[in-house]
């Protein structure tokens, strides 16, 4: 599908599932990169709260604030004015009470320009999802290894390994679909759990470390670009060695400056 015919509405995403076509979602945090991803034809841009870890240098996503999310979502929207942009509701912005959650979700659409919000969790979050959908806010769900619960999980651990946990994920995805979620991210679960959850619903699922059978796949952009340092989860695939590319480029700049080669005649006024 070409960049200009791909679905850009939340309803368009269902078309992928109906046609049996796989699709990609990529995280993004700024205008420049959003424009490039949009040019590349990525159908869903996610302003993930992974922002806290990959851009802001926090060890988890827990410290990310509403102001952080609004600021970066607005930048992404400026870079990709027509894209389907989904913004994460950060930890603490939706768990306390419905009124606060609705106010914060509204901010992401009004001030950030998001098309939809993403909310981590099933069970207690299902009523909130239904309420947001009722007031016109599209919601993407997120189940499995939900990073905002890292302290509850005791680390970034694969979820859904026991039969009971796996069954709960399937129950949760069905409940989220009934509540009106237009799609659900499945993160860090065994492939069989990803497959069963995907088969249980008509809405598309988007996997990250959830095996090959989800309808879409998402990666965190700095991981995909090979920019992230340190040990990475098994599901990460770097499509370029961005870290070396940046290091080599700035080193080349530095040595040309030291040698008096830059700026050359063509770079002068």
The gap from C-alpha 81 to its chain's centroid, in whole angstroms, comes to: 18
User: Which residues within the stretch 206-235 sit at the binding site for ligand KIV (CB under 6 A)?
Assistant: 208, 218, 220
Give the tokens for residue 67: 């102001």
Least gap, CB of 17 to ligand KIV (angstroms): 18
Name the residue nearer to ligand KIV (CB basis): 101 or 219. 219
Give the tokens for residue 41: 């034809």
Among 38, 68, 88, 223, binds ligand KIV (CB under 6 A): 88
Residue nearest to ligand KIV (CB): 48
What H or E segment, with its residue span, contains residue 46? strand 44-47
Query: What residues have CB less than 8 Å from 129, skipping those under 6 apart?
Result: 119, 139, 141, 176, 179, 180, 181
* Contact (CB, 8 A) for 105 and 132: yes
Name the residue nearer to ligand KIV (CB basis): 155 or 264. 155
Among 6, 13, 23, 27, binds ligand KIV (CB under 6 A): 27
39 is catalytic: no
Among 13, 34, 50, 144, binds ligand KIV (CB under 6 A): 50
Q: How far apart, in whole angstroms, are the C-alpha atoms of residue 42 and residue 239?
A: 15
Using alpha carbons, select from 231, 236, 200, 207 the residue that is nearest to residue 220: 236
Contacting range for ligand KIV; rule: CB under 6 A; set: 42-50, 171-179, 237-245, 252-260: 42-50
Among 8, 13, 43, 49, binds ligand KIV (CB under 6 A): 49
* Contact (CB, 8 A) for 114 and 137: no
Q: Which of 21, 111, 164, 187 is catalytic?
A: 187
Q: What Å distances lie between residue 80 and 13, 125, 261, CA to CA?
A: 18, 30, 37
User: Which residues within the stretch 107-146 sit at the binding site for ligand KIV (CB under 6 A)?
Assistant: none
- Name the burial class of residue 56, with classes exposed (0-12), middle (13-18) and buried (19+) by CB atoms within 10 angstroms of its CB: middle
Contacting range for ligand KIV; rule: CB under 6 A; set: 45-53, 94-102, 229-237, 246-254: 45-53
Least gap, CB of 256 to ligand KIV (angstroms): 36
Contacting range for ligand KIV; rule: CB under 6 A; set: 46-54, 161-169, 175-183, 234-242: 46-54
Among 45, 179, 185, 224, binds ligand KIV (CB under 6 A): 185
Supply the residues annotated as catalytic. Answer: 187
């Amino acid at each position: 599908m070409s960049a200009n015919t791909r679905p850009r509405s939340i309803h368009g995403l269902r078309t992928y599932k109906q046609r049996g076509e796989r699709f990609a979602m990529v995280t993004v945090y700024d205008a420049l990169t959003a424009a490039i991803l949009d040019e590349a034809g990525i159908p869903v841009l996610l302003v993930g709260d992974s922002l806290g870890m990959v851009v802001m240098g926090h060890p988890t996503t827990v410290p990310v604030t509403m102001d952080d999310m609004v600021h970066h979502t607005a930048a992404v929207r400026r870079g990709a004015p027509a894209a389907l942009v989904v913004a994460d509701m950060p930890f603490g912005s939706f768990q306390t009470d419905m009124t606060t959650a609705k106010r914060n979700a509204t901010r992401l659409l009004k001030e950030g320009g998001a098309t939809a919000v993403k909310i981590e969790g099933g069970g207690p979050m299902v009523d909130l999802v239904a309420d947001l959908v009722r007031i016109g806010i599209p919601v993407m769900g997120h189940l499995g290894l939900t990073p905002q619960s890292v302290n509850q999980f005791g680390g970034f651990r694969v979820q859904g390994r026991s039969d009971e946990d796996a069954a709960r994920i399937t129950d949760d995805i069905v409940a989220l679909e009934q509540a009106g979620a237009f799609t659900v991210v499945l993160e860090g679960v065994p492939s069989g759990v990803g497959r069963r959850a995907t088969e249980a619903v008509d809405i598309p699922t988007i996997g990250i470390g959830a095996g090959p059978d989800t309808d879409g796949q998402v990666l965190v952009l700095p991981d995909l670009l090979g920019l992230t340092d340190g040990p990475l989860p098994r599901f990460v695939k770097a499509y370029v060695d961005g870290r070396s590319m940046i290091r080599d480029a700035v080193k080349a700049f530095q040595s040309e400056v030291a040698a008096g080669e830059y700026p050359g005649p063509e770079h002068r006024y």
